[in-house]
Structure 1
């Protein structure tokens, strides 16, 4: 089930984020820094933060429904519990996310992938995303912007 994040989810999401050490490492962060940065982002205005729950938190996502520059929907974060990598769970959760929270609002989706995260590149390509350009995030990270057009 997908829930819109609010303060009642804070402790569960914090615990979830702290367990995602591989993702934190890919971002060049400690698990604590990764947790703190993303909790701050989830509590900021302007994005829709989502919690995927099946008994426990199994994934989180953060969406910017309309980018102020390009007008597209940006998936700012999509983290699935590391225990489920390679099981098809991420695919199922992404499909649900796209159908329920993305397609009703936009037909152009973008996201940024760290250049050295080949597993993520392959995952997003399987979801229909293609490389668009290189960019730099607000945090200063170099990313490959990937884009998907839907009808």
Structure 2
């Protein structure tokens, strides 16, 4: 099976798709103690995102074109050279199939030439989310509980390490 995902930028027209994804993943919103956003709330969030040139909302489709998830991330945030994943959401009936890992790895590869690290937020008390990022090589970076914790992964070695690696070659 082809283990790649297609990333499709979200537009206002695709708001019902994202809303449907949210409805198919109620456990995530229950974990946060909130409700599944309404279509109107989803539309407002997409509109807000389009006013921030650093923020990207994308739908994730499997090789057969089925919607399996979404990703919400920012480039050059909080610092230049950072990629911050605010939400990587996989539909509940698709969880445990490796799509989250595939999505994270594809983002890392896409941005590795221009970004130095990836930050990932884990909202609320979510040990499963923390474990997901840790398994992918992310390390605990910041405790901002009760709202969230942050995990980080360097994409490129620091300049001094690159120089030493080249010198030893």
Task: Calculate the TM-score normalised by the size of structure 1.
Answer: 0.83
Instruction: List runs of 5+ in structure 2 lacking aligned partners.
Output: 1-5, 157-169
Residue pair 1:65, 1:105 contacting (<8 A) in 2 also? no
Q: Which residue of 1 aligns with 2:61?
A: 53
Q: Which residue of 2 aligns with 1:130?
A: 139
State the number of aligned residues: 144
- More moved, 109-118 vs 18-27: 109-118
Change (3 A) 1:43 1:128: farther
1:27 aligns with 2:35: no
Matches within 5 A, 1:94-133: 94-100=104-110, 102-114=111-123, 116-133=125-142
In our comparison, the structure showing a higher alpha carbon Rg is 2
Over aligned residues, Cα RMSD in angstroms? 2.1
Task: Calculate the TM-score normalised by the size of structure 2.
Answer: 0.75
Residue pair 2:21, 2:91 contacting (<8 A) in 1 also? yes
Matches within 5 A, 1:5-44: 5-32=10-37, 37-44=41-48
Q: Which residue of 2 aligns with 1:145?
A: 150
Instruction: List runs of 5+ in structure 1 lacking aligned partners.
Output: none
Change (3 A) 1:115 1:12: closer
